[in-house]
Amino acid sequence: MKTYRVTVNGEIYAVTIEEITASTPGSVLSRVAAPVLTTISAPAVSAPPAPPKPVAPPPAPKPTPVVSSSGKAVQAPMPGKVLAVKVAPGDAVKSGTLLVILEAMKMENDIMAPVAGTVAAVNVQAGDSVSTGEVLVVID
């Protein structure tokens, strides 16, 4: 008999194996192609505990959206991810000017200016996730 130490999925086990030969009494060598496992004991040595995983800091809070009382707020029509912002505060826009490209349901959606005016505020940036109704751009 031989005893071996075996590691399975990080657990260490002591395994005793008996070699069977043709001269071993009660041998079943003709039916066995490999040594037969006779004993498996409980883990001999426990693995050291895993170090605790670092906790990611909470995401920074989004700045409060800027909405002027006289401006037209352009809202997200659906939840999605902002792929690109095509305007900046102070830009003059016409009705139908591309303001933001919003990805939703694996499709790119162009968010256009509903009125002509000047961009008063841009409340999102590329990579932001937005909810339905969230103010993206304000046009005065």
- 55 found inside a domain: no
> pTM here?
0.52
DSSP states along 4-24: EEEEETTEEEEEEEE---TTS
40-53 pLDDT, tens digit each = 665 656 667 777 77
- Number of domains making up the chain: 2
Residues 116 and 78 in one domain: yes
Residues 34 and 89 in one domain: no
- pLDDT confidence of residue 49: 72
- pLDDT confidence of residue 137: 95
Residues 89 and 132 in one domain: yes
77-115 pLDDT, tens digit each = 999 999 999 999 999 999 999 999 999 888 999 999 999
Q: Which domain holds residue 86?
A: 72-139
